[in-house]
A and B are shown apart, each in its own frame.
Chain A
Amino acid sequence: MNFIEARKLVHEYIRRDEDDNVESILTALDEVDLDVRQGEFVAVLGHNGSGKSTLAKHLNVLLAPSGGTLWVDGKDAEDADNLWEIRQNTGMVFQNPDNQIIASVVEEDVAFGPENIGVPTSEIWKRVERSLKSVGMIQYREHSPNRLSGGQKQRVAIAGVMAMEPKCIVLDEPTAMLDPNGRTEVLDAVEELNRKKGVTVILITHYMEEVVRADRVYVMDNGKVVMQGTPRAVFSQVDTLKSYRLDVPQITLLAHELQKAGLKVPQGILTRQELVEALCQLY
């Protein structure tokens, strides 16, 4: 069984008026199928309002599905007995770095998760140290989060999740509020956790450049999964992506334009090096 298996997952936001009559129904997830294997790096791409954040919240059981089934790590997410185990096994990092740091000292914040799940004190210290090291923030352990940069705060948030020793982390637009340097910092940390520690990563984003690092990409639009595949396969369909209000990395777009102009550049170029090599071979 896959680590995450969603079948026809539906989520409806129902708005009611004062008399409890249904005023409107917004289908944020519309029969979504999602499969993620243990150790995979999966990106979920979609414009604002495509339903990708709603999907993320389901994986951590912060929302309950209106229909369909969701299994996380072999456990049915609808069974209330599995709630805490799933939350512990799929950690979650949110968009706004300020609004997810609870304590006034970095190391105490990282300890918050382990404290909640009743990890003994000596073990907490070990975990805090390990997770802060794994995101390169150990030298800030006694700092106040208020004086850190956005990228550093977000890495503290990741450490806070890692200290619960989850099998999977779900990152809901973790870089949307960061500058380019902060963005790279955070993504490098995430990629390292995936490659070195085998943590399953689900990255929700609308930045195309970030998706290139993933093993597989899901594209969402209007609550549905509309495309999926390797980044190369997805980015080779430039025009389809544009119809979903999305973009492709500038280099991919250039390759696509050159191709349209008659140059025999291969489909789905992702990086500068690839385009340089392709053009040199043609020249």
Chain B
Amino acid sequence: MSIILDKVNYVYSEKTAYEIHALRDINLKIEDGEFIGVIGHTGSGKSTLIQHLNGLIKASSGGIYYNGQDIYDSDYDKKELRGKVGLVFQYPEHQLFETTVFADVCFGPKNRGLSRKESELRAYTALRSVGLPEDYWYRSPFELSGGQKRRAAIAGVLAMDPEVLILDEPTAGLDPKGRDEILDQVAKLHKERHITVILVSHSMEDVAKYVKRLIVMNRGSVLYDGTPKEVFAHYQELEEVGLAAPQVTYLMHELRMRGIPANGTATTLEEAKQSILQAFSS
């Protein structure tokens, strides 16, 4: 299973004064079961990119293939695709509308034409997997706290039983604990249910900690595509496009400049700690 993007271009407001070339010749292959991070500053095209993956935006040119099938074929079922590629937008709690959390989570599966029983079963599983305690399920979504609302909204997408889960800055506006809880849940989902996860984030520390492959977007093109280590090795180039590496990566480089043999490729706190301790014990 895979998603392939072949020379995808997208132009907003084509042939008007406001024309913006949001994506330029994007070639990507996303394999089954990957955990991918997408970074890029605001306006780099990352939001446009992820909306292509579930067919919400149609490319101006180029092709997208889901499991080998052209999603722009006239007889391709777009609704089915949206079920398979679940997209959690930024501030997803703003889309909650039902009278109870549970009913809201059932919205997706019902739209896929599932029976009531089947929909409720899906909702159960989804709410469990985001770790929302059962006492909240039958309350109005508007009584929940920010972090809980966010989980309910993510469950609403998970209930579609997607093969690919895309999250656009799922931790925006949450406090540190809420942030860690959401990201840990997502990592767990990836591990236990083997869902492909694509995480759009502004936090270098978060992507360094969780993802295995990192895609850097800049001005509508893919600037880098590799493991976080490979990508963050380009920390100077990243800065030129308004991005940065995790703080510890800078620290390791500065230590090396001062003659301490620290590991320059460390991107997480744990790696940095081990490498510094090693340097000091030898």
Interface residues of chain A, those whose CB is within 8 Å of chain B, are: 47-49, 149-150, 176-177, 179-182, 206, 208, 245-247, 249-251, 253-254, 257-258, 261, 263, 272, 275-276, 279-280, 282-283
Contact = CB atoms under 8 A, between A and B. Distances in A.
B113 interface: no
Provide the main secondary structure of the chain B interface.
helix
Interface in B126-164: 145-147
Contacts, number: 86
Contacts of A250: 205, 246-248, 269
A187 B203 CA distance: 17
A206 B175 contact: yes
A254 B145 contact: no
B254 interface: yes
A216 B254 CA distance: 29
B41 A257 contact: no
B172 interface: yes
A254 B42 contact: no
A250 B245 CA distance: 13
Contacts of B277: 258, 261, 263
Contacts of B41: 179, 181
Which 8 pairs show the lowest CB-CB distances between chains A and B? Answer: A247-B176, A245-B177, A47-B175, A206-B175, A250-B247, A48-B175, A176-B173, A276-B254
Given A250-B269, A263-B277, A49 B145 contact: yes
B15 interface: no
Given A47-B177, A177-B172, A246-B175, A254 B255 contact: no
Contact of A181 (B203, B205, B242, B247): B242
B178 interface: yes
B176 A179 contact: no
Interface in B234-254: 242, 244, 246-248, 250-251, 254
B175 A245 contact: yes
Nearest to B208: A250
B116 interface: no
B176 A280 contact: no
A96 B99 CA distance: 26
Interface string B214-249: 000000000000000000000000000010101110
B117 interface: no
A88 B250 CA distance: 43
A245 B202 CA distance: 21
A158 to B, nearest CB: 19
24 contacts: A149-B42, A179-B42, A180-B203, A181-B42, A182-B42, A206-B175, A245-B176, A246-B175, A247-B176, A250-B246, A250-B247, A250-B269, A251-B248, A257-B273, A258-B273, A272-B247, A275-B251, A276-B254, A280-B255, A280-B259, A280-B260, A282-B280, A283-B279, A283-B280
